Amino acid sequence: MSNTPPVNEVFSIPSMDCSEEFSLIQRGLKGTPGIRDLAANYLERQLLVSLDPTQVDRGRIEQRLREIGFPAVRRPEAGESSTDAGGGQFESVSQILRSAPLPGMIGAILLSLGFMLWLRGAYQSAAWASLVAALVCGWRVAEAGWRAARLRHLDMNALMTIAAIGAIALGDWHEAGTAMFLFSISIWLERISTGRARRAIQSLVELTPTVAHRLPSRSCCNHGHEQEHSGDPNQGDEEAARCETSDVPQSEQHQRDSDITCRRGLDRMHGRQIEDVDVSQLSVGDLLLVRPGERIPADGVVVEGDSDVDTASVTGESVPVDVVVGDTVFAGCLNGESSLMIRVSTPVSQSVVSHVGRLVELAHQSRAKTERFVDRFARFYTPAIVTLAVGIAIFVPLWMLGQGRDDWATQFPHWIRRALVILVTGCPCALVISTPVTIVCGLARAAQCGLFVKGGEYLEAAAGIDAIAVDKTGTLTLAAMNVSHVEVFGTATENRVLTIAAALEHHSEHPLARAIVRAARDRQLSIPEIEGFQSYRGMGVTAKAVGADVVVGSRRFLEESGCDFRDVHMIPASNPSPDDRKSSVWVAAGGRVCGCIRLADTLHPHAKEAIVRWRQLGVKRVVMLTGDRMDTAMAFAKQVGIDEVHSQLLPEDKMRLTQQIVATSPELAMIGDGVNDAPALATARIGIAIGQASDTALESADVVSISSDLRRVGDLLSLGKQTRTVLWQNVGTSLVVKFAVLTLATVGLATMWMAVAADVGVRLLVVANGLRLLRATVDSARPLVPS
């Protein structure tokens, strides 16, 4: 087999909704060149195919699927219209109603006619009407059953065909007609029921508009500058050239100047030089106009205007957020009553909404524990039922003959009837569909709250979480660090300490680093160039700047680096500062410590409320993990009610502690937002990346919360518990009904049409029960995303 990475294809198959159909597809595609693996998504009726790129033959796969009775359409790739291929799985109710099966409608008319004839005493004519109804409703079933038999597999179509033929042979024509009618419309009724869940998921991944109003940067600047500098054409050309290169910013100041220059032109060009383009053509740096009431087409930064933006579709916030110049906005969010000018900051393929689509795709491929149990059960259920039916039809009469009973011949037809009814109960579809519809509805509701879960396994696991480890900076706090004051030692000055620190921290994305750089710029300090930059994760950075070797980081890091603390006149660690919530960044130049920058963070306003809610939901242990010193960490812990604190941790320390906690509390959730948290996120039972987490954290996490509101974690735990409850209800109901009908059939109290009606009824019941999760109540009772 080739070692090259596989190519993944998705085929929409409307007739695949059960493990039985998937088994047939596996048998039918067995031996097809290029296929490495197959997986099924029953709710969306999709076949996931992993192909060898050196032997890809999509046409051959589609042809083979048609041959075995499963017409398929390949899902379009990125950039193709979703309506061109395979979009039929997301039908509206009216489309489903119009596609009602004609044989089922004819069968309903024939059965109604037969019932009226029976009431009038025309029993033979009524029987003939029922027989015709059985043939009309059952011919497609029989055709599918024959294809399954050719593949040496007894699926539900084959079992129903055998049962109907047996009933007709025994003269139970009305029984055969009613059973075939109910079975022929069961899938259609299920499509109506599950359509809502599929549309809920589709609404989450179709938030981004297809067209954007783009403002050409060069045109906008030329236009504005012709008005402003008409007397000096050379000056206008210089300004135009300056804005022309703004799409490739060299620094934040340059970007700011570019935005201001462009806005002068934009004020004069609204409605004139705007071009409507497909969102796939957008690039980072493009300027877009978003009119009132329109959805934002790409992630970006506001460069002009202020408005209220409804972010419910992405973050789950029910209250619109006020945005001004400099604020970040997400694709798919709904603009309010004012126009906005935004600069695209992220490629469309990497936007938050695109990431949501990938998470939804990943979630379908990751199966919950209950789903895996049901699939294993289904593989053994049908063969066991067939074996039981054969035993009742053949071995029971033979046993009666062996006992010397004279009535064995007259009882033989009765045992055959019981066996035929038992065969009808052999389809596990109601059981199989009960789990994915519940999981998908739970995932959809979580996404509507701004929680994107990478699979049903993690949503189900959230129900059992009893311990939570949480990072401090950026998670319990807002990570809105600010320099409170600068302590200087020896002959150093505050400006020199800030300048040296900003020169090195300018290359870091850590919240402390950003605060130091911001403080230096606020003082209008010139940030010097550096050489030989080295980063030591979780400890500090080193480089050569202002003619000296500079070390910036924690006190521990400077001590290990051999820096001289002789000039330091600080309060002893045993007698901490009154303001314990301040973090410290130490600065050394030329081997001697020259300053200490004190920074203060702000506690998240909902942190304490969130932790109280976690405890109400069964969390018995809450642990803070932080790289800060103990006095700072304890000050925050006391405010939010956390008793267990571990401080001054490196990334590997966090991972080690997480492993220790998992050893005593296996159902642990880890919450973090930074690169330093990624190893711990991957170690915990569930890793939750919160807020504007780093790419590394997003990859390591099992759940992503776009909002930094810690109450979302409570929503996750609540939805997990509700999802688990519905799963147990659905699986339990399916098994109870199946075994009840099986018992009644064994003792001769159930008829064939009763067995089919019970199967259809329990299918609709478990689907309806799963759909309740789309209205599941969460703590903040946020409204749903319109579907």
Active site (annotated) includes residue 471? yes
599 within 8 A of 632, measured Cβ to Cβ:
no
| CB distance 775 to 201 below 8 Å | no
Choose, from 471, 677, 702, 715, the residue flagged as catalytic.
Answer: 471
Torsion of CA 382, 387, 390, 393, to 10 degrees: -90
What CA–CA distances, in Å, run from 246 to 201, 219, 288? 39, 13, 15
* Cα–Cα distance for residue pair 377/401, rounded to 1 Å: 35
Which residue, 72, 3, 82, is CA-closest to 41? 72
Angle (deg, nearest 10), helices 408-424 and 711-746: 160
419/426 Cα distance (integer angstroms): 11
> Hey, how many other C-beta atoms are within 10 angstroms of the C-beta on 179?
28
Name all contacts of 395-404 with Cβ < 8 Å and 24+ positions apart: none
Tokens of 771: 């759909």
**Strand-pair partners of 705:** 451, 690
Number of H helices, E strands in the chain: 27, 26
Taking alpha carbons only, the member of 283, 292, 288 closest to residue 301 is: 288
* In the block, residue with structure tokens 């980081």: 553
Taking a C-beta distance cutoff of 8 angstroms, is the pair 305, 341 a contact? yes
In the chain, % helix, strand, coil (3-state, to 5) comes to 50, 15, 30
**If we measure between CA atoms, which residue out of 506, 534, 541, 539 comes closest to residue 520?**
506
* Residue with the two structure tokens 């935004």: 342
Contacts of 736 (CB under 8 A, 6+ apart): none
Sign of CA dihedral 753, 758, 759, 764: positive
Helix/strand/coil for 422: helix
- Asked whether 314 and 272 are in contact (CB, 8 A), the reply is no
Query: Side-chain half-sphere of 741: how many Cα atoms within 13 Å?
Result: 28
Among 773, 752, 778, 758, residue whose Cα is nearest residue 389:
752
- Residue 111 neighbours by CB under 8 Å, 6+ apart: 129, 130, 133, 177, 178, 181
CA dist list (Å): 533 to 530, 543, 550, 552, 577: 7, 4, 10, 11, 32
The string of DSSP letters for 283-332 reads: -TT-EEEE-TTPBP-S-EEEEE--EEEE-HHHH--SSPEEE-TT-EE-TT
Catalytic positions are 471
